[in-house]
Amino acid sequence: MVEKATLNPDNSETPRRRRGRPSRKEEVQHALAELGVDPATIDPRRVLAAIASDTTAPAGARVAACKVLLGVKDQGDPAEGSTGTVDVASRAIKSMAAARKATH
């Protein structure tokens, strides 16, 4: 078989993206800045509630949003805690343990 010539014979690295073109992350940051949205102020519960109540959204997305909302309903506001942070890992572990018990 014939070997293909490398694109950069001097450099064995993979070719980089074209210069001047923003990455996906940079595009999202730029779009949010144009809209005047600060990602730190976005409330995930409000986003989930909006998805759950949107009749034009796919049914699966609405159901998934409702399930998550029901899961966090009992936890209260994370800002009310003493540290103000939510331990996501411990919630995930509890959720996995509950799912494992339900299947056995």
Tell me the domain boundaries of the chain: 44-74
Q: Does 82 score more than 50 pLDDT?
A: no
The alpha-helical segments, DSSP class H, found in the chain are 24-35, 44-53, 59-73, 88-103
Task: Residue 65: count other Cβ atoms within 10 Å of its Cβ.
Answer: 20
Q: What are the distances in angstroms from CA 78 to CA 27, 57, 91?
A: 30, 28, 13
**pLDDT tens per residue, range 5-58:** 555 555 556 666 667 788 888 888 888 888 887 878 888 888 888 989 999 999
Torsion angle of the four alpha carbons 90, 91, 95, 96, in this order, in degrees rounded to the nearest 10 = -30
